[in-house]
């Protein structure tokens, strides 16, 4: 038996090390970074406790996209 799942998953957390001075960014309250920065930042491990089995999606897959936003 096969299962397939399409999922939109959003995760957020506070990391005091990533605070920024808004005056250096034209008083923007939000900064967006390209997804290529994902590998340079710490992020929590994500898991599904009731998963039957899981396979990591291919990094090039359109189903695996990242958006990084910082809020001040």
How many other CB atoms sit within 10 Å of the CB of residue 66?
14
Minimal CA–CA distance to 54: which of 9, 5, 10? 5
pLDDT tens by residue, 10-64: 888 888 888 888 999 899 999 888 888 888 888 888 777 877 766 665 555 555 6
Do 31 and 20 contact (CB within 8 A), yes or no? yes
Kindly report the pTM of this predicted structure: 0.54
HSE toward the beta carbon, residue 69, CA cutoff 13 A:
8
Q: What is the largest CA-CA distance in the chain?
A: 56
């Amino acid at each position: 038996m096969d299962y397939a799942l399409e999922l939109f998953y959003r995760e957020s957390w506070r990391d005091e090390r990533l605070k920024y001075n808004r005056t250096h960014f034209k008083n923007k309250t939000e900064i967006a970074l390209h997804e290529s920065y994902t590998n340079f930042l710490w992020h929590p491990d994500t898991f599904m406790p009731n998963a039957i089995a899981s396979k990591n999606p291919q990094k090039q897959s359109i189903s695996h996209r990242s958006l990084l936003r910082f809020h001040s």
